[in-house]
Structure 1
Amino acid sequence: MGVVMRLSFLEPLYVESGPFASVYLDTSRDVEHPDRALARRWHRLRADLARQGADAALLGALEDAVGSDAGVPGSHGQAVFAAGGALVLDGELPRPPARDSAVYGPLPDAMPLVAQHLPEIPYLAVVVHYGGPPTATAHGWVTMEAEAGSWPASSVEPGPRLHHHVRVSDWHHSSVRLGHALDDRARRAHADLVVVAGDEWAGNVLVRRLPHALRDKVVRARGPTPTDTGRALLEPQLRTLLQGRLAGHDRDLVNVFIGRRALGGPATEGLADTVAALQRGQVEALLLNRPPPPSLRLWTGPRATEVALAEADLHAFGVRAPHEEPADEALVRALVGTRAELTVVPEAVLPLDGGVGALLRYSDSGRIWYDGPASLTRRG
């Protein structure tokens, strides 16, 4: 099973009481005069936040953080959140946002950040280069580099890459030893797949000598394979290979949901029933076909579980002054506050009533439910 996508990295946002400034902007470095372009973008967003009521201290905290990812090359973006005159969270976006935005309101606008980091697919990237004569001879050499990471966040495991420089005459023998080293790295990363690129002959030798369980996860990648770009190894190829692919754990969630829905197990579907389950802290994993549209609103109270379709529902729970907020902001807060998961599942894979469903921690009847080997499990 792959690494579980938790939302614990958002917890600092919900320690603060707000109001929050949520900023999304394109901080790409692959444009002409990137610093000048970023300054123009931020100037517009800063003015927009000031019109919405953000004070000078809050704007100053944001300004100090905007562009702090200048050392990251290529196309990307930044998500920055501040409250109470201080920076609360600064996150890298693997892709630039569809449009720059700045929102000042009671809850942080975290869904675009979450959506860009779903699904997190753990992988092992391996690049094999052959250097020497046009045909493999004893006078050449083979270089192998490998790195574990997760996509689409382009985050990589801490520590150095695996790097080995081997004579061609030793490559067949060394590949067995290197295969075990790769297997160990892949197991520690819970890698769903192994992406192998570079020289075809040297790569084939290595793949044939991998342990069987790892060999079954191999995907071959084509195209240029530079290893000194300052970015994740094989990042351009990963987008092509992994776009639209579900992580292993997300596939398990889908299978469990389908099974429970068919057999009447602890699962729910549709916005009304899912919100009711969130009120009870009952949701283990929320499944969405797509993030909610901006027009969809929910009512919220001070606590994460105080979320409802109607203001009267919260009054019935004793909430004195509910607020109507965008549904995506309310849902993310409820998930973080109840330590639930979130995954975005394409409608072609699993169409959901109203685009939303949930796996539940328990059934209302108290029935114990067993899903078999694919049962939903929790990692730290």
Structure 2
Amino acid sequence: MHLHWLKPLLGRPGPFVTVHLDASPAQVAGESGPVDRWRSVRRELERDGVPAALLDEIADRVAQPDGRRDPHGRVLVADADGVVVDRVLLAAPAASRGVYGPVPALSPAVRATDESVCLLLVAVDRTGADLRWVAADDGEDHGPASETVDGGHDDVHKQREGGPGRRGQTRAEDSWQRNAEAVAAAVDQRVRDRHPDLVVLTGDVRAVALVHDALGQQVRDLVVEVPGGGRGDGIHEDVFASRVAEAVDEARARRRATHVERYREARGRDEGAVTGLDDVVEVLRRGQVDELLVASRVLDGALTERTLFVGPSPLHIAAARSDLADIGVQDDEVRELPTDVALLRAVVGQDAGVTFVDDDVEVVDGVGAVLRWADGSTPSESVPTQSADNRRLRSVG
């Protein structure tokens, strides 16, 4: 799970206002909506001394509908210049809240992002398809949330067999095939442009099969066929939505399992992965990390209670101030940040990803990393090379 949406925050000075909002629309008359929930959060931020002009800008953002009717969340981050991040989240927070402090309070939003799955829903029939993006909350404007693909061949009705009717059947089947190819080409292009996590294919059974066969291999690897959807009337929306939710859950589990398996295989070879806070900080500073693994149990505990030292660059990260001095960072450029903030800052700075893992994944100090590359000086459990080796070797049986 990548965090490109956090990049606008890099290099900006504090203080920051971070708002985690339940942005779900009111379901019944008289129920509180996003604007009402924001008013409660605003009163708290006013007591903390946040400038009124900044709160007014956030209020204007909240008042603009985000177009979603299902339960969801929203995170907004602002500094003295205004709102820097405004992102819709798949899950609503347990409670809306605002934080005013020297660094953004992003852990809840990052955890919610790890749960999100960018989904392209493709409903097909024998004339074309409707394409709809669901939970595509990467914070970037890629184009329309939905579109229609017209295959362009409208001779799609078979005639009875025999004589001229056979030619009619052939023409109809040829139209189905060409329309399916047009839909597949459009889907291939959208996947290249927007990189969804999952493509759900549904609709007319014959058309689904033809489109699936015409897709490129990159898309086929993402496709799940889910029955019950389509372009016409008579769709049982609740049943279909439940089936899609199951497909999304499976995709989320596969994504997490892929990163965990890479981590375990690399550790088994003692090459390409590290664990323990000291070693993770070391490889982050060297720009080696491809995916950071964080135990969910430590995100709101141990990682927020400890601190790390950082410099002007996101890759300036260390457990000790002296480590930054050794690489040329001036003392007046050094800041002390909560560990979770410093780690996320370094991850974003090297375009790495983050995966939250359960207790069955062995990560010392609650953190581990899968590496892009390694060399002889990379921290290793079998070849002590760093000052923290004695602490690291405690986990080697």
TM-score above 0.5, yes or no: yes
Question: What is the CA distance between 1:274 and its match in structure 2?
Answer: 0.7
Is this contact kept in 1: 2:201–2:208, CA < 8 A?
no
Residue aligned with 2:308, SS: strand
Question: 5-14 or 241-250: which moved more?
Answer: 241-250
Q: Tell me whether 1:161 sits opposite 2:148 in the alignment.
A: yes
Q: State the 1:105 CA deviation.
A: 1.1
Q: Partners of 2:361 and 2:178 in 1: how far apart?
A: 42
Q: Which residue of 2 aligns with 1:358?
A: 369
The 5-angstrom pairing of residues 263-342 of structure 1 reads 263-290=269-296, 292-296=299-303, 297-303=306-312, 304-309=314-319, 319-320=331-332, 324-336=336-348, 338-342=349-353
Deviation by residue 1:213-257 (Cα, 9 ceiling, x = unmatched): 4667542324565789xxxxx876543211253488766544443
- Equivalent residue for 2:88? 92
Q: Give the alignment's TM-score, normalised by structure 1.
A: 0.74
* Length-normalised TM-score, structure 2: 0.71
Q: Which letter maps to 1:353?
A: V
- 2:344 aligned partner, one-letter code: V
Relative to structure 1, the CA distance from residue 27 to residue 344 in structure 2 (aligned partners, 3 Å threshold; closer, same or farther) is: same
1:206 corresponds to: 210
1:127 aligned residue: 123
Report matched runs for 1:1-380 at 5 Å: 5-33=1-29, 37-118=33-114, 121=117, 123-128=119-124, 142=126, 144-147=128-131, 149=133, 151=135, 153=137, 158-159=143-144, 160-164=147-151, 166=154, 167-169=156-158, 172-188=173-189, 189-190=191-192, 193-199=198-204, 201-203=205-207, 205-206=209-210, 209-210=213-214, 213=217, 218-223=223-228, 237-243=243-249, 245-246=251-252, 253-290=259-296, 292-296=299-303, 297-303=306-312, 304-309=314-319, 319-320=331-332, 324-336=336-348, 338-347=349-358, 350-365=361-376
Distance of aligned partners of 1:276 and 1:126 in 2 relative to their CA distance in 1, 3 Å threshold: same
Structure 2 residue identity aligned to 1:352: V
Q: What does the per-residue CA deviation read over 1:306-348, in whole Å, with 9 as the maximum and x for residues that have no partner?
A: 4444667668765458655443322222222x32312315438
Contact 1:28 1:34 in 2 (8 A): no
Aligned partner of 1:90: which letter?
Answer: D
Question: How big is the shift at 1:54?
Answer: 1.5
Alignment root-mean-square deviation, CA: 3.8
Mark the CA change 1:216 to 1:256 in structure 2 (over 3 Å): closer, same or farther: closer
SS at 2:251's partner residue? coil
Q: Is the 8 A contact 1:30 1:74 kept in 2?
A: no
Shift of 1:66: 1.6
* 1:56-98 deviation per Cα after TM superposition (whole angstroms, max 9, x unaligned): 2222222221232343333222211111151112111122123
Give the number of the structure whose alpha-carbon radius of gyration is greater: 2
Say if 1:25 and 1:99, in contact at 8 Å, map to a contact too.
Answer: yes
CA distance in 2, matches of 1:172, 1:33: 51
- Cα gap change, 1:319/1:186 in structure 2, threshold over 3 Å: closer, same or farther? farther
Q: CA deviation at 1:13?
A: 1.5
Query: Which amino acid is 2:24 matched to?
Result: S
* Structure 2 Cα separation of the partners of residues 148 and 110 of structure 1: 29
One-letter amino acid matched to 1:88: V
Letter in 2 for 1:108: P
Pairwise CA distance, 1:272: 2.4
Looking at structure 2, the residues matched to 227 and 311 of structure 1 have their Cα atoms a distance apart, in angstroms, of 64
Which is bigger in relative contact order (C-alpha 8 A, separation at least 6)? 1
Larger helix proportion, structure 1 or 2?
A: 2
Q: Secondary structure at the match of 2:109?
A: helix
Query: 1 CA distance for matches of 2:359 and 2:84?
Result: 37
CA drift of 1:173 comes to 2.8
Matched with 1:138 is: none
Give secondary structure in 1 for the equivalent of 2:110.
helix
Deviation track 1:172-227 (CA, whole Å, cap 9, x = no partner) reads 4333223333433343315665422234x445553675458466754232456578
Cα shift at 1:275: 1.8
Paired amino acid for 1:26: D
CA distance in 2, matches of 1:219, 1:23: 36
DSSP-derived class of the 1:66 partner: helix
* Structure 2, unaligned runs of 5 or more: 159-170, 234-239, 379-397
Displacement, 1:366?
Answer: 5.8
Counterpart Cα distance in 2 of 1:220 and 1:26: 32
